[in-house]
Structure 1
């Protein structure tokens, strides 16, 4: 499994498998909603692509939005995961979609995830992208569980 980053900055969750390209949290204010956007590069469907991960939180739920760029970068393939605190089903799961005609799967386990004040989990979780039957991208500190 290989990842590239424009800027070497280790992922704060302890994963040594992916590195952030950028991190753009919104200014710290007392609002009911917050987001964190991280951009990575991963080899998905045979090409290095930007993978944008958006963690979003409001008073009612947490969401995870993953966007993968097409080869030319002019199109984005999207996957949205809602993690509602009162529903068990959204905290662990699987989705699949096509990226430039190639099957990509997203697996996640946020059942035990610990969140601080922000929308991004701080520990005890994983989010994995699988392409060509290999883990192409992995976030979180539960890599063995993934």
Structure 2
């Protein structure tokens, strides 16, 4: 009976260490409950992150104090943006074939009117693209 408790305790501790080493445990007022963000590399640093404290500091300070968390969030945002651009691929091709210079596609989430900032546009798959709130705005080269 005692050995069973020791083994189950050791397994539980090992599982907790693996979770702590592979995920950021994110809390804060903007997060309902606890959210797990995958770390870019296995480490026990930056395991517990309060989103309120990270969100209220300048980006350069956040990158200095929480480099792994900021990098993993940027990676997640870029992956989401790439998926939206890929989902709009056919619409983009049709628009470019018609000579459309500025076009939008996607399902905007909770956005009444969406203006885009040219300075925030990025080159993705050969197009100048801006992604915000689920809405993809692209500018073709034509």
Q: TM-score per shorter chain, which class?
A: under 0.3
**RCO higher in structure (CA 8 A, sep ≥6):** 1
Which structure's residues are more often strand, by fraction? 1
TM-score normalised by L of structure 1: 0.24
TM-score normalised by L of structure 2: 0.25
